Amino acid sequence: MELADVLDDAALRDLASSFGVDSRDLAILYDGRNRVYSVAAGEPRVLKVIPSWVEEPALAEAEVDWVAWLHRRGAPVVRPYPTRQGGWVARATSEGVELSACLMERLRGDPMEGRGWTPPLIEDLGAVMGRLHALTRDYVPGVGAPRRPEWYEKDWLARPEKTLHPSQAAVIERCHRLRDALMQLPRDGDAFGLIHDDLHTGNLWIRNGRITVLDFECCHTNWLASDIASALLFAIWKVPSTDADCAAEFARAFLRHLMVGYRREHHLDADWLRRLPLFLKLREMSLYVSASYSGRDLTEERDGEPLLAFWRHNIEQDVPYVRLDGPD
């Protein structure tokens, strides 16, 4: 089912009016799992409509509550606007499907998507990530605001046998093994908290030469090192060469520059960086299980085979996503 199949004019009008926006001023900017509209009247803004099969309204409220909290403290994140009732998310029902919507600033500048990573940009990403991690230690949800899930509450990891076909028994077993290993890790205050977990170029914007972060849909509570691993994984994904040595060389250089920026804003003990292979595997598994469950047609290839098959082989054989040891 697509959002276009269930979103009618009346529901859109109700969602928009919750923010004081006239639905006649809306124009579709992006149509995918969510739908994003530009708002023609007033200051530049976008209205994002989210069906409940993508994200429950309560989780969307928790997401935007954190983004608003970060924005008030000067973090380089997109600015959200409250509803007339004072919340962050509007709700409506259309064709029996619960919908939610949030209103955000429309960013000036240029998308990061399509740009190559340069050392200054990588260091800026590290500084942005470090700033988010430093701030999140003090985050307290607003009164009545729900919370985002913890890493182990995600269905694919908590109950992989309900998400994957029985033929993927080896992957299911690896999911359980990874969860058990992570459960043994300490949850230090400076190393554990809310993370974005989706810091790839599609969720980054360049404004006045600096990075601004948007789309916090994947945010959840996890070890901060997992956010670093996630950004590293997505950066490697975009490396043109599939040669393992090239990927490893790029990964080490990317991580080195990332941590230069990160350490300007937040301290993370070196022991957590030594655990990055574990968190890289966590993100690889989450992408694989999500794509397998949703039936997404990933046409990309890695090492000459379809990406899903590549991921599955790596998970079943416990092959590291990338080698981080070796010369810089």
In 114-223, which ranges are continuous DSSP H helix?
Answer: 119-136, 155-158, 160-163, 169-183
Domains detected in the chain: 3-106 (3.30.200.20), 111-316 (3.90.1200.10)
Distance CA 149, CA 141 (A): 13
Cα–Cα distance, 44 to 108 (Å, whole number): 9
Instruction: Report pLDDT for 300.
Output: 60
Q: Which residues pair with 99 in a beta bridge?
A: 51, 92
Helix axes 119-136, 244-262, angle to 10 degrees: 50
pLDDT in tens for each of the 328 residues of the chain? 788 888 999 999 999 999 999 999 999 999 988 999 999 999 999 999 999 999 999 999 999 999 999 999 999 999 999 999 999 999 999 999 999 999 999 998 999 988 889 999 999 999 999 999 999 999 988 777 789 999 999 878 888 888 898 999 999 999 999 999 999 999 988 899 999 999 999 999 998 889 999 999 999 999 999 999 999 999 998 776 567 788 899 999 999 999 999 999 999 999 999 999 999 999 999 999 888 876 555 556 565 467 888 889 999 999 999 888 865 4
| Burial (CB count within 10 angstroms: exposed 0-12, middle 13-18, buried 19+), residue 105 | middle
Sign of CA dihedral 116, 204, 319, 224: positive
What pLDDT does residue 20 have? 97
Q: Which residue has the tokens 């991921």?
A: 311
Instruction: Write down the pLDDT at residue 32.
Output: 83
Interatomic CA distance for residues 310 and 319, integer angstroms: 10
The reply to whether the predicted model has a pTM over 0.95 is: no
